[in-house]
Chains A and B, each alone.
Chain A
Amino acid sequence: MKKTFLITIACLMLTGNAISQKNPVQGLEQITPELLKKYIYYLASDSMKGRNTPSKELDLAADYISKELASMGVQPVNGTYFQNIPFCSTNLDVDKSSLKVTIAGETKSFKLKTDFTPFEMTANAAVEASIVFVGYGITAPEYNYDDYKGIDVKGKIVLVMKHEPGEKDEKSPFEGEKDSKYSMLNEKLENAKNHGAVGMLVVTDPLNHIMMTPQGYPWPSLSRFLPQDNLPIVLCKKENSIPLAQVGESVIKYLFGSVDSLKNIQKRIDKSNSPASYELASAKCELSTILKTKEYIAKNVVGYIEGRDKKLKNELVIIGGHYDHVGFMSHHKEGEDYIFNGADDNASGTAGVMATAKAFTAMSVKPKRSILFILFAGEEKGLYGSDYYVEHPLYPLDKSVAMLNMDMIGRNGNDTLQIDGFEFNPDLAKIMLKEAKNFGLKQIEGKEYLFERSDHFNFFKQGITAVDISSGLHNDYHTVRDNPETINPLKVALISKLTFKTAWIMANEKKHYKILPLKRNK
């Protein structure tokens, strides 16, 4: 009797587990419009000032999210709910940046902006070396063209022209009038570094232009007109460059005698499609590009639920969305709404991730695979939070089997759904499309052109199946009208439930998911 009773209890437990694995009702019940509304109204309130990256209001939002995750029982990662992201804004130090050229013992100093202007990719460094003219600075084996052939530029400063041979010639071997990749400055810079150059000067190709001004990068510190605080805030990168500046007419005249001399060299190169590189034997150059960098910190918010399967718990399903938005208008009229509250973009998706986390913690049976929740900062500035995460993953990317991103999930009709990227993620799409109908989301579409525009894309680029789940664009997108009262909490709940259910399925199977390559314009 006792034995029969125990077997019955065991069978019931197994059946219960099987049912909850197939239909995780306990979790789904947690995702309610009321809960989502609470999160959205907090995150998109005026006090959050539009959650710009970086800002103290974004930090407040991060604290709020982390406390909510902690209260649910979601675990921190390495003892913290935050992944710090270093952001930098860089300006040119006009007092310390300089260009001097010495020819036959005579040194000439050139002026910033009128004679030379560093590019934004320049190194924070000074260099002194001889100058080698390397034409267009191109090494293109497929076009049988190499400006560096037979020329040693190691430890020297190269001087290159912009663009490529036959830029406006439809018969040019460099893809006719269409620009090949070799015409791009970053390609020339990489090529110069690969050949051992220690600096690079750039001149406008005079055959195709009448303006020979050294435009370089429009540093606010060089302008009386552009606002001085108008520097982009980007992810801090490791120094891997060389001093790099554009030089203008006065430098060309000093080095070549006249602009026409350089024009004649360019004509020869273009006509013969063969390089005309040479060392400017007596010319020495001192190039100094000194930068002033200001650092900021913003945070990705992370939370973790460990899987229950001994082996599969080492694999992850990632559920994410960005919690930043675009801040507020610094100049506005009295009484005018000036805060971009970002209720749909993306307090709604953030709320969706938080509610999904609550659903997972409510399950009596944990998923086999582990779950990682990430709320990204810096999405609006350029997908920086997810970019930083994939460069500095908290768990191995090759163990991350899927990424489900929620971005703008609170608008449009109750039965509409947009899954951007399902054509490139066939296995994931199959699960999701089937489940969507169970939640009444029947009008489903995907917009290929939007696939690269949210955080999932950085995971997809790493070979991880990843889609963006959204309720689609609307007229209030990136306006001050994107306010909490425009959100449909029921819609947010439906999409959050779909995401939870999809993640639940994926976290309980052994399968790995196929992705297909992007169709890109050449």
Chain B
Amino acid sequence: MKNIFIKQIFVLSLMAISVVANSQDAMLKYNFVKGKTYVLNTQLNNNIVQTMGGQEMKMESGINSTSEFLVENVDEKGNATILVSLKDASVASKIPAMGRDTTMKFNDLNEQTRVVITSAGKNISSASVSAGNVSMMLGSVEKFTKFIQLPEKSVKVGEKWSDKLVDSIKSSPQSPVNLVITTDFEFSFVGTEVVDGVELTKISFTGALQINGSGNQMGMDLFVEGNGKSEGVLYFNPKSSLVVKTDTNTEMDMNIAVSGQQNMTMPMNQSMKTITTLVEK
């Protein structure tokens, strides 16, 4: 019997990609206070289009998640040790052409990662404390908590700075491809803006992404290559010295190849809109 499940295996791996792309705009600068807890809400809408023979198959998904950041320690250099707990998540997915519509909710997950970052946002270390299937599916808590490194100097309106990062994601049962992702972002200090009655510093950014990867599943070799663009804004609260809101649009064109039981190569487009908000608990 002909196996039509092959296409579905890509979805999970791409969820991981989307989260990494998203993670680049998660935070700007940190002035975490020992003992305080912050709550990060993330809304991610993700559209994947696979094309074959001029026909398109669309898959839509949305993730709403809540994570808590407990600042366990801040050392004399300003490096913060933070326990990040993924608390709640809901994942909705839809394949309009197949009439499939699924929503999954996960409460009180408490899947945790401990991260140590510099005051500029540079990641010193991260280690999983407790992980389960849900965080794996969402791209892992660890990936959620990678922070953008910011210039360690005061910036003026119109000033630009860049952040280039090469990251990797190891394969897992949920995402069978080892991925290498290169991101090259340029940030620009736009000025100040009043949002919900609070004066915030607005920073815009654009970025380029490149992705390569390979793996194996069910005896088939899998390959991924692609590139993308990202653009959006960050809002930085100078009083708390925290990034309190981000709004990002990311689009990636990827090529997927499978060899083994079937030889197949297909293009894929993935577009994501991500909004995050951070508040003190």
A residues lining the B interface (CB < 8 Å): 89, 119-121, 178-179, 183-189, 209-211, 213, 215-220, 223, 225-227, 229-233, 326-327, 329-332, 338, 340, 345-346, 379-383, 407-408, 450, 453-454, 470, 473, 477-480, 521
Contact = CB atoms under 8 A, between A and B. Distances in A.
B249 interface: yes
A215 B269 contact: yes
Nearest to B212: A225
B50 to A, nearest CB: 12
A346 B1 contact: yes
B223 interface: yes
Interface in B26-69: 51, 53-56, 58
B181 to A, nearest CB: 14
A391 B243 CA distance: 63
Contacts of A326: 3, 260-262
20 contacts: A121-B54, A179-B58, A185-B56, A186-B55, A209-B271, A210-B249, A211-B229, A213-B227, A226-B265, A227-B221, A227-B223, A227-B257, A230-B258, A231-B263, A232-B264, A326-B261, A382-B2, A383-B2, A453-B4, A478-B3
Given A179-B56, A210-B249, A477-B1, A338 B98 contact: no
Contacts of A227: 221, 223, 257, 259
Given A326-B3, A380-B261, A477-B3, 19 more contacts: A179-B56, A184-B54, A186-B55, A210-B229, A211-B229, A216-B267, A218-B225, A218-B257, A218-B267, A226-B257, A227-B223, A230-B258, A232-B265, A340-B219, A345-B1, A380-B3, A408-B1, A478-B261, A521-B98
Contact of A213 (B53, B221, B253, B258): B253
Interface in B76-124: 96-99
B247 interface: no
A215 B227 CA distance: 10
A245 B134 CA distance: 41
B185 to A, nearest CB: 14
B72 interface: no
Which of B4, B54, B96 has the largest count of A CB atoms less than 10 A from its CB? Answer: B54
A407 B96 contact: no
A330 B260 contact: yes
Given A178-B96, A213-B227, A226-B225, A331 B216 contact: yes
Given A213-B253, A225-B212, A521-B98, A338 B219 contact: yes
Contacts of A187: 54
Nearest to B56: A184
Nearest to B97: A521
B1 A185 contact: no
Which of B2, B261, B271 has the largest count of A CB atoms less than 10 A from its CB? Answer: B2
Contacts of B259: 227, 229-230, 330
Contact of A210 (B2, B231, B260, B262): B231
B56 A218 contact: no
B151 to A, nearest CB: 25
A479 B269 CA distance: 30
Interface string B253-281: 10111111111111101010000000000
A331 B53 CA distance: 28
B261 A470 contact: no
B261 A340 contact: yes
Main secondary structure of the interface of A (DSSP, over half): loop
A184 B55 contact: yes
A158 to B, nearest CB: 15
Nearest to B258: A230
B252 interface: yes
B263 A232 contact: yes
B261 A185 contact: no
B218 interface: yes
A376 to B, nearest CB: 11
A331 B221 contact: yes
Given A408-B1, A479-B218, A183 B261 contact: no
B56 A183 contact: yes
Contacts of A220: 257, 265
Contacts of B228: 211
A231 B265 contact: yes
A216 B98 CA distance: 25
B251 interface: yes
Contacts of B2: 379-380, 382-383, 453-454
A217 B257 CA distance: 11
A185 to B, nearest CB: 4
Nearest to A521: B99
Contacts of B51: 185
Contact of B225 (A89, A225, A383): A225
Contacts of A408: 1
A219 B97 CA distance: 26
A191 B227 CA distance: 31
- A-B interface, 3 closest residue pairs, ranked by CB to CB distance from nearest: A186-B54, A218-B255, A326-B261
A218 B218 contact: no
Nearest to A219: B265
A226 B96 contact: no
Contact of A453 (B1, B54, B55, B262): B1
A119 B98 CA distance: 25
A485 to B, nearest CB: 20
Contacts of A223: 225, 255
A331 B56 CA distance: 31
Contacts of B216: 331
A89 B264 CA distance: 11
Nearest to B262: A381
Contacts of A407: 1
Which of A184, A187, A223, A232 has the largest count of B CB atoms less than 10 A from its CB? Answer: A232
